[in-house]
Amino acid sequence: MAGHPQLTDKQILGFSRWFAFVGAFLAMFMISPYEYAFSAFSHDVAQFFHISAVFLGTVFTVNVFLESAFGWPAGFVRDRYGPWLLQLIAAFLVGIGYFAAIFGSPTLLLWVYAVIGGIGGAGIVYNNSVTVANKWFPDYRLPWLAQYRQALAGGVQYR
């Protein structure tokens, strides 16, 4: 490819790659309770709904399984159609999961928070956010991945 000018991220994306980073960082910040805060509120949820720790463990297990299981399909869809629409769909699913956790009954908590929130939560958002660093920051991959992990931890801290 000698002789061809290298396109910048602004020419490819239409905006600076830093906007992609900030969007991915905020998305990771918002899904952090799915990843790290479950144990912080599980005791209160169990007392409020009069449900067992085993039931809540099942909710969390289903959530983590679906987060992991939907990483590959999310990557396939992202590579084929792009990350932006997929990230909006994931944000909608995460929001439904949060509303179910806040306003739902134990059954609704299990099926909506764990299933829909798990699929949209870390399954799609995490996959999209981490690949932003790999694609648009090849010169800073490791520091940006560390920043995304910090967003997950920070999201829990400020809840």
**Based on the structure, what is the number of domains in the chain?**
1
pLDDT tens by residue, 32-76: 777 777 777 788 878 888 888 888 888 888 888 888 888 778 888
Phi/psi-derived region of residue 3, left when phi > 0, alpha when psi is between -120 and 50, beta in every other case: left
Residue 141 lies in a domain: yes
Structure-token pair, residue 56? 């809540």
Q: Domain range for residue 92?
A: 16-157
Residue 10 lies in a domain: no
Residue 100 lies in a domain: yes
Residue 11 lies in a domain: no
CA dist., res. 124 & res. 70, Å (int): 7
pLDDT tens by residue, 112-153: 777 887 777 778 888 888 777 777 676 665 565 666 566 655
Looking at residue 133, which CATH number applies to its domain? 1.20.1250.20
